[in-house]
């Protein structure tokens, strides 16, 4: 199934079923007024949603054109958002560029931080931020939304809890990150609200592109109309099963919890990058200094996971503009 959420001035929006070709949509119906409600009652509502989705694709129901510009994030808010760093090529590049000591257990224990889940951004919403001096960066990622996950589960059991797969942009303010990491408390101000592509899909919709707990698709990233990178999601060093199990090591996860992959990163330089910071560290390694600046107000970023050699991808498109926040004059300077 494919889901989207129509903005309707409520906290959770109205749940839509979207046709397989992303052209038509219908309301999910009273059994599932929102995606969060559907996830919390998955066993009861999933059969009816499947039947309604099949009827939509067969043209058996009256439907409307699907307009992703009217969409919020598929899950406008969730009970928890945990983002990993499962592409170790990214971490290795950072360590090489800055000659930092090895992170203990990097190859065996996933890195993960807990972000804000109360205010996710839709795929075409402007992104208000306080200052260009904060070093504004995009981060193209994949993610999953889970059902109930018991504490201490194994990766295989954790992977079975995946209900939906999503595409996202985990915005970062790079100037704030180093100070927050030095405190030992982790990211807070360095991580603004995360943006999501309009459509969340059940894993079966990806076919062979969902394999080994990984999204086997290229993530095409354009910055101000120019291709920035097209790394492949299959190079995750840790699977989503590993990431979910890590998050659930000492706590249970409730339905609607989101788990992110971290920046998609490939060993091949030809793949480009899914974030500016990675391009900058490659420039440091290759040329001795960073040459690429961070984003400016009115810059635009576009992200789309694509089927190889095919048309539109399964999640739709994130296409956003960075703007100055209305209260930017009250922003604290980056330390």
The answer to whether residues 324 and 297 touch, using CB atoms and an 8 Å cutoff, is yes
- Indicate the residue among 42, 69, 96 that finishes a domain: 69
Residues 158 and 39 in one domain: no
Range of the domain at 8: 2-69
Task: Give pTM, 2 decimals.
Answer: 0.95
Whether 335 maps to a domain, the answer reads no
Residue 115's pLDDT is 94
**CA nearest to 224, candidates 121, 125, 320:** 320
The answer to whether residues 244 and 325 touch, using CB atoms and an 8 Å cutoff, is no
Residue 188's pLDDT is 83
Q: Per residue in 254-276, pLDDT tens? A: 999 999 999 999 999 999 999 99
Residue 96's pLDDT is 84
Residues 40 and 162 in one domain: no
Residues 161 and 34 in one domain: no
- Cα–Cα distance measured from residue 6 to residue 200, given in angstroms and rounded to the nearest whole number: 13
**CA nearest to 120, candidates 297, 289, 260, 278:** 260
Residue 330's pLDDT is 57
Q: Per residue in 64-107, pLDDT tens? A: 999 999 999 999 999 999 999 999 988 888 888 777 787 889 89
Residues 58 and 183 in one domain: no
Three-class secondary structure assignment of 91-112: HHHHHHHHCCCCCCCCCCCCCE
- Indicate the residue among 43, 69, 95 that finishes a domain: 69
Task: Provide the number of structural domains found in the chain.
Answer: 2
Whether 272 maps to a domain, the answer reads yes
Pairing relationship of beta strands 81-84 and 64-65 according to DSSP bridges = unpaired
Residues 109 and 62 in one domain: no
Q: CA angle 280-281-282, nearest 5°?
A: 90
- Indicate the residue among 69, 89, 124 that finishes a domain: 69
Residues 40 and 175 in one domain: no
Pairing relationship of beta strands 162-169 and 140-146 according to DSSP bridges = antiparallel
CATH code, 211: 3.90.850.10
Residues 272 and 227 in one domain: yes
Whether 151 maps to a domain, the answer reads yes
Residues 56 and 95 in one domain: no
Residues 176 and 230 in one domain: yes
- Give residue for tokens 């080994």: 212
Residues 105 and 228 in one domain: yes
Residues 29 and 92 in one domain: no
Residues 192 and 170 in one domain: yes
The answer to whether residues 192 and 325 touch, using CB atoms and an 8 Å cutoff, is no
Whether 126 maps to a domain, the answer reads yes
Whether 157 maps to a domain, the answer reads yes
Whether 172 maps to a domain, the answer reads yes
Sites in the chain below the pLDDT cut of 50: none
Whether 58 maps to a domain, the answer reads yes
Whether 106 maps to a domain, the answer reads yes
């Amino acid at each position: 199934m494919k889901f989207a959420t129509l903005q309707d001035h409520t906290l959770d929006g109205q749940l839509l079923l979207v046709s397989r070709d992303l052209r038509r949509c219908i309301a999910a119906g009273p059994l599932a007024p929102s995606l969060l409600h559907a996830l919390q009652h998955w066993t009861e509502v999933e059969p009816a949603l499947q039947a309604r989705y099949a009827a939509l694709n067969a043209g058996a129901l009256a439907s409307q054109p699907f307009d992703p510009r009217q969409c919020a994030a598929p899950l406008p808010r969730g009970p928890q958002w945990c983002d990993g760093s499962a592409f170790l090529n990214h971490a290795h590049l950072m360590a090489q560029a800055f000659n930092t000591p090895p992170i203990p257990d990097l190859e065996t224990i996933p890195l993960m931080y807990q972000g804000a889940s109360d205010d996710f951004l839709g795929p075409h919403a402007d992104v208000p931020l306080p200052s260009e001096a904060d070093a504004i960066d995009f981060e193209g990622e994949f993610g999953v939304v889970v059902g109930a996950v018991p504490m201490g589960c194994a990766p295989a059991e954790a992977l079975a809890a995946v209900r939906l797969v999503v595409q996202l942009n985990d915005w970062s303010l790079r100037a704030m990150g180093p100070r927050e990491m030095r405190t030992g408390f982790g990211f807070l101000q360095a991580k603004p609200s995360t943006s999501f592509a309009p459509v969340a899909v059940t894993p079966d919709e990806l076919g062979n592109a969902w394999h080994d707990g990984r999204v086997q698709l290229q993530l095409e990233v354009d910055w101000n109309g120019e291709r920035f990178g097209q790394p492949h999601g299959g190079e995750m060093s840790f699977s989503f099963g590993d990431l979910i199990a890590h998050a659930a090591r000492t706590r249970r996860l409730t339905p609607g919890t989101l788990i992110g992959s971290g920046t998609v990163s490939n060993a091949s330089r030809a793949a480009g990058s899914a974030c500016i910071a990675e391009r900058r560290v490659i420039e440091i390694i290759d040329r001795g200094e960073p040459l690429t600046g961070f984003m400016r107000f009115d810059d635009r970023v576009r992200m789309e996971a694509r089927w190889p050699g095919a048309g539109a991808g399964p999640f739709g498109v994130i296409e956003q503009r960075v703007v100055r926040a209305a209260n930017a004059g009250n922003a604290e300077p980056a330390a």
